[in-house]
Amino acid sequence: MPEGGQTRWLWLSVLVVVLDQATKWMAEAALDPYLPVPLLPSLNLTLMYNEGAAFSFLAGAGGWQRWLFAGLALVVTVALTVWLRRLKPGEAMTAAGIALVIGGAVGNVIDRVKTGRVVDFIDVYVGSWHWPAFNVADSAITLGVVLLLLATLREAPAKG
């Protein structure tokens, strides 16, 4: 295995962080908090803040969760980077998935460390039901997990 495994995929992590931070900056500059701006049917841009984890888990916990979630994201990022380094050259789907998750985790941890809350602005809805608002980092994490699951299913030995 070449030195560094599949670490060349970290360019994708950097791209996710840059896009995530740029879009969050634009959302905060252009949108008023909690006032939806219709973009497409079933899609608004709505500036919101999340002090918790996914789906605002522990959002009202008093502030300690800021450092717990930031620390957890950093530990996961280190573990994923180690995994990335150990991948073989043919494991591109796994490498891309890991890189997307790393980029998303870093994008959200930047917000969490800087302000104690994550900027969300993508508001998907059907009728009066709204999915929890999210951002580019959340999208990258979701896509990364899907790629990891697909890679795992593709590599799973057939039972016979």
Residue 24, judged by CB atoms within 10 A of its CB (0-12, 13-18, 19+), counts as buried
Q: Is residue 139 part of a domain?
A: yes
Q: Is residue 130 part of a domain?
A: yes
Give the active site residue among 20, 111, 120, 123: 120
Q: Is residue 160 part of a domain?
A: no
In sequence order, what are the beta bridge partners of 118? 50
Which of these, 111, 117, 109, 104, lies nearest to 72 by C-alpha position? 109
Q: Is residue 1 part of a domain?
A: no
Confirm whether 32 is a catalytic residue: no
Range of the domain at 24: 7-155
As a whole number of Å, the CA-based R_g of the chain is 17
Q: Is residue 2 part of a domain?
A: no
Q: Is residue 66 part of a domain?
A: yes
Q: Is residue 99 part of a domain?
A: yes
Confirm whether 123 is a catalytic residue: no
pLDDT in tens, 65-120: 667 777 888 899 999 999 999 999 899 999 999 999 999 999 999 998 898 889 99
Q: How many domains does the chain have?
A: 1
pLDDT in tens, 132-160: 999 999 999 999 999 999 999 987 665 55
Give the active site residue among 20, 111, 123, 138: 138
Which of these, 115, 111, 96, 154, lies nearest to 22 by C-alpha position? 111
Residue 4: what pLDDT?
A: 65
Contacts of 57 (CB under 8 A, 6+ apart): none
Which of these, 101, 118, 121, 100, lies nearest to 109 by C-alpha position? 118
